[in-house]
A and B are shown apart, each in its own frame.
Chain A
Amino acid sequence: MAYSDKVLDHYNNPRNVGSMDKNDPNVGTGMVGAPECGDVMKLQVKVNPTTGIIEDAKFKTFGCGSAIASSSLATEMLKGKTVDEALAIKNTEIVNELALPPVKIHCSVLAEDAIKAAITNYKDKTAKEQAAVAQ
């Protein structure tokens, strides 16, 4: 299979690889996929609690080159966005940016799912914290 230059670039120089403390109240963690399916993405966002802006994003991915590129690109897209803007990111943006072929579209879907899972996790955490403060 031929890969686009952008997929190759993300594969060779993945952006924002790493992990953040998942117990940090400002960090949201999403993990999607399954080893049996051949891809697992872990995506984390660090949100500034006062501005609601994503200040940092990290990923780790087990999967094919397109899955690695999709999640690497997702972390780039996330930085500087508000939580709600992040939720609006669509997999088609990733498909277009990376020129993914039809058989690799599921990689972009997985990346969108990972973004949503990370943001949901962050929102759940803040909601719980606010509930605790209110009590």
Chain B
Amino acid sequence: MNLPIYMDYHATTPLDPRVLEAMMPYLTSKFGNAASRNHAFGWEAEEAVEKARKQIATLIGANAKEIVITSGATESNNLAIKGVAEMYAERGNHIITAATEHKATLDTCKRLEKHGYRITYLPVLASGLIDMDMLRESITDKTILISIMYANNEIGVIQPVREIGKLAKEKGVLFHTDAVQAVGKVPVNVLEDNIDLLSISGHKLYGPKGVGALYVRRKSPRVQLTAQIDGGGHERGMRSGTLNVPGIVGLGEACELCRKEMATESVRLRTLRDKLRAKLETALDEVYINGTMESRLPHNLNISFAFVEGESLLMGINDVAVSSGSACTSATLEPSYVLKALGAGDDIAHSSIRFGLGRFTTEEEVDYVAQKVISVVQHLRELSPLYEMFKEGVDLSKVQWTAH
């Protein structure tokens, strides 16, 4: 076992060696521009892109023509939301999203707000899931788009996407989902889920960074977007710019590997994740899982160790790469807005650790991480005045703190 151990697969994933192998020719000898229609270099690049487009589409039950290549999911989310907002401005100006979305969605919506659009940020339940009744009631005759993520990047909870898609279809509203964390990890099908627009990122599914895709539905309904980048009219006019051929080939190969291996991989990761959880919960008291375990990615565990601050915990497990919702690990000095949205309280947010398991995680690593976390939490609780007070039976919620 090599140290440090990587257990932050929601942040990014390593490139699968098989993906790199598929990309190599397009980084070297096959360097053509896929838009060069008049020579063999261009043809072979275009052929590679079309193969990749098909691989991407197959993973999500779409048609290759419905895949628009982008630079990553941030761009996909921007294109989907701004593109719909602009294209359908005459029909309405209302967009519904959720408080726990990724910043690429939230900040895009905030910008649209400045341009006169009205945005509803749905709160979430303690489970991390949206309330379907609340979504239904939020839809007005001015609503043009619902943008709700498939699975959350911090707590891994999977939203009731199929129900959302069904409701959106009923109401004649377009449905976009940021599916970055879900695609390749759990079965996603744009037809069964009634998804109109779906964002994918290459580096979250063992592909390269700097490439992503946006699925744009072509039939019932045919979704139109206003391009956000002007230029040569690539990608059916929706996204200009010379295609990143090696990146696209990598994304395609990564999607195909996920499609073939998802069933076995997800079972393996769920077993490891559950083992990690069981070890932590057996050895430590006052441990809380953030978000529901009922509807969740198999490789995610987001857990709060009460009375222990997240950054100090990360410092103690410095040979394990994980992330924390603690303010001290972020640039803003605010704890995770996702955990706050669950209503868990800032103290629980400060105490949280996100474990993201992945393709190259081994059982030995899980055992090591569990043992390490347990011993560091125990050490820090020895130091914690809060744990001492808790053990003395003090109700911490009734203490008069001197906030600073």
A40 and B385 form a contact (CB under 8 A): yes
- Interface check A4, CB cutoff 8 A: no
A35 and B401 form a contact (CB under 8 A): yes
Q: With A17-B382, A36-B347 in contact, do A64 and B312 touch (Cβ < 8 Å)? A: yes
Categorize the interface residue count of chain B: 20 to 34
* Nearest CB in chain B to that of A42: its residue: B385
CB distance from B239 to the nearest CB of A (A): 37
B315 and A35 form a contact (CB under 8 A): no
- Interface check A119, CB cutoff 8 A: no
Q: Which residues of A contact B387 (CB under 8 A)?
A: 62
- Interface check A60, CB cutoff 8 A: yes
Q: Which residues of A contact B350 (CB under 8 A)?
A: 35-36, 38
Chain B 299-342 interface 0/1 with A at a Cβ cutoff of 8 Å (1 = within): 00000000111011001100000000011110001010000000
Contacting B at CB under 8 A, from A51-91, are: 60-65, 67-68
Q: With A35-B346, A38-B335 in contact, do A62 and B384 touch (Cβ < 8 Å)? A: yes
Contacting B at CB under 8 A, from A1-15, are: 1, 3, 8, 11, 14
Q: Which residues of A contact B404 (CB under 8 A)?
A: 32-34, 37, 106, 109-110, 113
- Interface check A95, CB cutoff 8 A: no
- Interface check A19, CB cutoff 8 A: yes
CB distance from B113 to the nearest CB of A (A): 28
Report the separation of the CA atoms of residues A33 and B307 in the bound assembly, to the nearest whole angstrom.
Answer: 13
Which single member of B308, B347, B385 contacts A41 (CB below 8 Å)? Answer: B385
* Nearest CB in chain A to that of B401: its residue: A34
CB distance from B284 to the nearest CB of A (A): 16
- Interface check A31, CB cutoff 8 A: yes
Which single member of B326, B333, B345, B402 contacts A33 (CB below 8 Å)? Answer: B402
- Interface check B388, CB cutoff 8 A: yes
* Nearest CB in chain B to that of A34: its residue: B401
Report the separation of the CA atoms of residues A106 and B309 in the bound assembly, to the nearest whole angstrom.
Answer: 16
CB distance from A100 to the nearest CB of B (A): 13
* Nearest CB in chain B to that of A103: its residue: B333
Contacting A at CB under 8 A, from B369-404, are: 382-388, 396, 401-404
* Nearest CB in chain A to that of B315: its residue: A65
Report the separation of the CA atoms of residues A115 and B242 in the bound assembly, to the nearest whole angstrom.
Answer: 62
A64 and B326 form a contact (CB under 8 A): yes
Q: Which residues of A contact B309 (CB under 8 A)?
A: 38-39, 62-64, 67
Categorize the interface residue count of chain A: 20 to 34
Report the separation of the CA atoms of residues A125 and B199 in the bound assembly, to the nearest whole angstrom.
Answer: 64
* Nearest CB in chain B to that of A41: its residue: B385
CB distance from A1 to the nearest CB of B (A): 8
Which single member of A32, A67, A103, A109 contacts B402 (CB below 8 Å)? Answer: A32
* Nearest CB in chain A to that of B326: its residue: A38
A19 and B312 form a contact (CB under 8 A): no
Q: Which residues of B contact A40 (CB under 8 A)?
A: 385-386, 401
Report the separation of the CA atoms of residues A86 and B315 in the bound assembly, to the nearest whole angstrom.
Answer: 30
Q: Which residues of B contact A34 (CB under 8 A)?
A: 401-404
Report the separation of the CA atoms of residues A109 and B402 in the bound assembly, to the nearest whole angstrom.
Answer: 13
Q: Which residues of A contact B329 (CB under 8 A)?
A: 1
Report the separation of the CA atoms of residues A3 and B311 in the bound assembly, to the nearest whole angstrom.
Answer: 12
* Nearest CB in chain A to that of B387: its residue: A62
B383 and A38 form a contact (CB under 8 A): no
B385 and A61 form a contact (CB under 8 A): yes
CB distance from A36 to the nearest CB of B (A): 4
B384 and A60 form a contact (CB under 8 A): yes
Q: Which residues of A contact B382 (CB under 8 A)?
A: 17
CB distance from B379 to the nearest CB of A (A): 9
Report the separation of the CA atoms of residues A60 and B391 in the bound assembly, to the nearest whole angstrom.
Answer: 14
Which single member of B308, B316, B346, B383 contacts A60 (CB below 8 Å)? Answer: B383
Q: Which residues of B contact A3 (CB under 8 A)?
A: 315
CB distance from B357 to the nearest CB of A (A): 25
* Nearest CB in chain A to that of B392: its residue: A19
* Nearest CB in chain A to that of B345: its residue: A36
B386 and A35 form a contact (CB under 8 A): yes
Which single member of A35, A42, A68, A113 contacts B312 (CB below 8 Å)? Answer: A68
A-B contact pairs, 30 of them (CB 8 A): A1-B329, A11-B315, A14-B383, A19-B388, A31-B402, A33-B401, A33-B402, A33-B404, A34-B401, A35-B346, A35-B347, A35-B386, A36-B401, A37-B346, A38-B327, A38-B328, A38-B346, A38-B350, A39-B309, A40-B385, A60-B383, A60-B384, A61-B383, A62-B384, A63-B309, A64-B328, A65-B312, A68-B312, A106-B404, A109-B404
User: CB within 8 Å of B: which residues of A?
Assistant: 1, 3, 8, 11, 14, 17, 19, 31-42, 60-65, 67-68, 103, 106, 109-110, 113
Q: Which 10 A-B pairs have the closest CB atoms?
A: A34-B401, A35-B347, A36-B346, A42-B385, A60-B385, A64-B311, A64-B328, A38-B350, A34-B403, A65-B315
Q: A31-B402, A62-B385, A65-B312 are in contact. List 10 more A-B contacts (CB 8 A).
A: A8-B315, A36-B403, A38-B327, A38-B328, A38-B350, A39-B309, A40-B386, A62-B383, A63-B309, A64-B312
